[in-house]
Amino acid sequence: MRPQHLVTHPRSLHPGAWWLWALGLAAAASRTQNPVPLLLVLAVTGFVVAARRSDAPWARSYGAFLKLALVLIVVRILFQSVLSSGSQGPTVLLTLPDLPVPGSTGLKLGGVISLEAVLQATYEGLQLATILCCVGAANSLGSARRLLRSMPGALYEVGVASVIALTFAPQLVTDAGRVRAAQRLRGQSGGGLTSMKRLAMPVLEGALDRSVELAAAMDSRGYGRTTHRSRGSRRLTGLLVFGGILGVAVGVYGLLSGTSTSWFGLPMLLAGCVLAATGTYLGGRRTGRTKYRPDPWALPEWLVVGCGLVPAVTMFWSVRTDPASLFLASATTVPPVPLLACAGIMVGLLPCVLAPPLPRVGPVAPVGTAPVEAAA
Amino acid sequence: MTDLIPLRGRSTMALAAVSAIGLVAFGWPFFTEPGSALDSSHSGDAPFLFVAVLPLLAAIVLAELTSGGMDAKSVAMLGMLAAVGGALRALGPGTAGLEPSFAVIILGGRVFGRGFGFVLGAVTIFAGALITGGVGPWLPFQMIAAGWVGFLAGCLPRSSGRAEVLVLAGYAFVAGLLFGLVMNLWFWPFASYGPETSFVAGDPVTANLSRYAVFYVTTSLLWDLGRSVLSFLLIGLTGSALLQALRRASRRAAFDAPVVFER
């Protein structure tokens, strides 16, 4: 068995696996407004992030997403309870001074605030917040920058441009700091739009100069070598891509139109997506470029993806068999515990042991593995 | 005007088709007919459906636009301008941090052509999201909307001097508002802040439109106005200098010069 198949061999998991795992949890969260499974999903993502995140700067983004999610819930509660009169129920919590709002919008300002409105807003906000936190977990576990390396070949130019942007953006910030320091030495005080102009010009000029230099460096290292593609293969990929786009368009039309022929909408959409994706993939495969040390996709990746799939499948199954426990009839009832769905979500917790531990930074490895490390 | 990414037959077709589908992906609440699949059996899935389809469409249009025709100089210019926009986005103030990068997208689209404008808008948003760690379902929507902003900046009528800067600044103001109007649309079906402001599947278009207007005015008009005014001021004050810098770089890079090998 090769070492990358072991769940104990320290390496960083393929970021795509983390994204699929998080998408599975997000799909599960998108199917319920019961706070019990939602909070469970939230806890699972938080726990796995705490167990398997790296020290990289983007690993902190889970916290940022969590804060954003809290803001989202609070905004929603404020809107539904203070501004909307239509979502109030019979249980009055408190009555604020009322301010009439002109027009027939149905809005209000202040007035009666009921428990139903607050609870409903909390549950709906919690659903979105949970989905948001799943995305945040994916952001902090699987680096989107490393995912760039697995970009399909057809997007090679865009990928290179993105890598250039990511590499030079921090340098631009340093440049701006240097320009500002120079301005301060000349006695120019910062602030206002005119100082922004004085700052923008040198920074932009520096970036443009650098782009010309970079292009020369890329040219001299053989960038832009094009491989010959036969007319037939170009035609085939074009046919696939445009057939796919046409399929998507027809599928969307089928989903939107009210006539009886709309049954073909979803299948057409799916078929179009598959065609277009195949065309783009084939078009990129013929560019004749290889990847430098590609990230392996081995057993742990499959296990993690499976752990994300299980919550989604059990949740979709529960929606079909027992919808009443996932969408509460009234916001004030005590939320029931949907056992199957919760068990499925708990499977999503397993990646905190199934994902391989991160390689430790620094010379702490045992003596025997040192040459391997050096060779790698 | 140098056209770094010329729109050929195939890429024009892809751009037009994806833009049309993109418009529907943003505005589907207004397009659903009563009794359609999105209205009845799939009304809960509809927003997720477009969230799932749009990344693929964005990838396709970017691949079609860039495949083949880009040399190292264009790629380096694209990457650098996206770095400027992305860094501005990371430094930008809080949630409405899109403002300064808008100026870069608009000026880049103006100087280097509409195809480049589209790709620059999309890549700038993408790089900004990677830098700030903010990759999410909104990303493809933002990429396509910002691509439109750059594309239309390249389509503006020819003018020069003061008039050009004024036209660009005015366009930046309008684009800032329209970007907000369109970007709110994608999550409007998720955002049920109460029956007066939220999307009701199967309602007549006018009723949904008026509810969307209420939603837009109460939630985001203030942010969008701020962004518009800032882009207007930014381009109005620094536009001519930045345009000159970009054109000088374009001359230095000599994008138009054909590559000839001598024997």
Beta carbons of A166 and B33 less than 8 Å apart: no
Residue B214 carries which side chain, given as an amino acid letter? V
Contact with chain B for residue A274, Cβ under 8 A: no
Say yes or no: A145 and A211 in one domain. Answer: no
Beta carbons of B64 and A241 less than 8 Å apart: yes
Task: Compute the count of residue pairs across chains A and B with CB atoms less than 8 Å apart.
Answer: 275
Beta carbons of A212 and B129 less than 8 Å apart: no
CA dihedral (A288, A294, A300, A305) in degrees, to 10, reads -50
A290, part of any domain:
no
Domain of A276?
Answer: 233-285
CA B81, CA B222: separation in Å to the nearest integer? 28
Å between B87 CA and nearest CA of chain A: 5
- Extract the tokens encoding A195: 């100082």
CA A226, CA B22: separation in Å to the nearest integer? 31
A180, part of any domain:
yes
**Position B120 pLDDT exceeds 90:** yes
Specify the 3-state DSSP secondary structure of A107. strand
- Residue A308's contacts (CB-CB under 8 Å, 6 or more residues apart) are A20, A21, A22, A23, A24, A25, A348
Of B19, B40, B17, whose CA–CA distance to B201 is shortest?
B40
Å between A375 CA and nearest CA of chain B: 31
Band the pLDDT of B38: cuts 50, 70, 90: low
DSSP lists the bridge partners of residue A94 as A113
Which residues of chain A does B91 touch, with a Cβ-Cβ cutoff of 8 Å?
173
> Sign (positive/negative) of CA torsion B124, B129, B130, B135?
negative
Say yes or no: A134 and A160 in one domain. Answer: no
Residue B214 phi, psi dihedral angles, 5° rounding:
-60, -45
Determine the distance from the C-alpha atom of residue A262 to the mean position of all C-alpha atoms in its chain, rounded to a whole number. Answer: 31
Say yes or no: A17 and A118 in one domain. Answer: yes
A369, part of any domain:
no
Q: What pLDDT does B95 receive?
A: 46
Beta carbons of B123 and A245 less than 8 Å apart: no
DSSP lists the bridge partners of residue B20 as none
Q: What pLDDT does B173 receive?
A: 92
Contact with chain B for residue A148, Cβ under 8 A: yes
Contact A143, A118 (CB under 8 A): no
Say yes or no: A143 and A110 in one domain. Answer: yes
Distances, alpha carbon A251 to alpha carbons A248, A262, A267, B141, B189, in Å: 5, 9, 7, 19, 20
Task: Please name the residues between 300 and 359 in chain A that touch chain B, using a CB distance below 8 Å.
Answer: none
Neighbours of A23 (CB within 10 A): 20
Of B56, B210, B227, B54, whose CA–CA distance to B138 is shortest?
B54
The ipTM value here is 0.87
For chain A, strand residue ranges (E) read 92-95, 112-114
Say yes or no: A23 and A125 in one domain. Answer: yes
Q: What pLDDT does A373 receive?
A: 40
Q: What pLDDT does A105 receive?
A: 59
Q: What pLDDT does B128 receive?
A: 85
Say yes or no: A146 and A166 in one domain. Answer: no
Q: What pLDDT does B192 receive?
A: 65
Neighbours of B87 (CB within 10 A): 27
Residue A94 phi, psi dihedral angles, 5° rounding:
-155, 165
Contact A320, A32 (CB under 8 A): no
- Extract the tokens encoding B71: 């040399």
* Residue carrying structure tokens 């819930």: A73
A38, part of any domain:
yes
Contact with chain B for residue A109, Cβ under 8 A: no
How big is the CA angle at A162 (ends A220 and B143), to the nearest 5 degrees? 145
Neighbours of B262 (CB within 10 A): 3
A372, part of any domain:
no
Smallest CA–CA distance from B235 into chain A, residue? A197
What average pLDDT does this structure show over B122-133?
A: 85
Say yes or no: A141 and A49 in one domain. Answer: yes
Q: Which of A172, A187, A220 is the last residue of a domain?
A: A220
Question: Between B98 and B187, where is the model more confident?
Answer: B187
Which residues of chain A does B25 touch, with a Cβ-Cβ cutoff of 8 Å?
252
Give chain A's length.
Answer: 376
Of A224, A351, A356, A348, whose CA–CA distance to A295 is shortest?
A356
Say yes or no: A10 and A114 in one domain. Answer: yes
Q: What pLDDT does A370 receive?
A: 41
Q: What pLDDT does B211 receive?
A: 81
Say yes or no: A142 and A157 in one domain. Answer: no
Band the pLDDT of B171: cuts 50, 70, 90: very high
Determine the distance from the C-alpha atom of residue A164 to the mean position of all C-alpha atoms in its chain, rounded to a whole number. Answer: 21
Long-range pairs for B44-49: beta carbons < 8 A, 24 or more residues apart: B46/A255, B46/B189, B46/B201, B47/B186, B47/B187, B47/B189, B47/B190, B48/A30, B49/A255, B49/A269
Of B94, B97, B96, B103, whose CA–CA distance to B121 is shortest?
B103
Alpha helices per DSSP H over B32-137: 46-66, 72-91, 99-112, 114-132
CA A108, CA B127: separation in Å to the nearest integer? 41
Say yes or no: A127 and A166 in one domain. Answer: no
Say yes or no: A115 and A26 in one domain. Answer: yes
What average pLDDT does this structure show over B100-108?
A: 88
Contact with chain B for residue A54, Cβ under 8 A: no
A292, part of any domain:
no
How many structural domains are present in chain A? 3
Long-range pairs for B180-183: beta carbons < 8 A, 24 or more residues apart: B180/B216, B180/B220, B180/B221, B180/B223, B180/B224, B180/B227, B181/B216, B181/B224, B182/B26, B182/B145, B183/B138, B183/B141, B183/B142, B183/B145
Beta carbons of A161 and B78 less than 8 Å apart: yes
Averaged confidence pLDDT in chain B: 82
Dmax over Cα atoms in chain A, in whole Å? 78
Determine the distance from the C-alpha atom of residue A332 to the mean position of all C-alpha atoms in its chain, rounded to a whole number. Answer: 33
A228, part of any domain:
no
Supply the DSSP string of A216-238, one letter for each residue.
HHHHHTTTT------HHHHHHHH
Say yes or no: A138 and A177 in one domain. Answer: no
Of A298, A344, A315, A353, whose CA–CA distance to A16 is shortest?
A298
What domains sit in chain B, N to C, each tagged with a CATH number? Answer: 9-253 (1.10.1760.20)
CA A115, CA A96: separation in Å to the nearest integer? 14
Of A265, A23, A142, A159, whose CA–CA distance to B59 is shortest?
A159
Neighbours of A61 (CB within 10 A): 25
* Residue carrying structure tokens 């003018």: B159
- Residue B190's contacts (CB-CB under 8 Å, 6 or more residues apart) are A128, B47
Question: Between B99 and A280, where is the model more confident?
Answer: A280
> Which range among B35-49, B104-118, B132-146 has the greatest average pLDDT?
B104-118
Q: Which of A185, A220, A255 is the last residue of a domain?
A: A220
Residue B97 CB burial class (10 angstroms; 0-12, 13-18, ≥19): middle
Of A101, A87, A105, A80, whose CA–CA distance to B211 is shortest?
A105
Q: What pLDDT does B96 receive?
A: 47
Lowest-pLDDT choice from A88-102, A304-318, B108-122, B213-227: A88-102
A75, part of any domain:
yes
DSSP lists the bridge partners of residue A109 as A99
Q: Which residues of chain A, if any, have pLDDT below 70?
A: 85-87, 100-108, 190-193, 224-229, 258-263, 286-288, 361-376
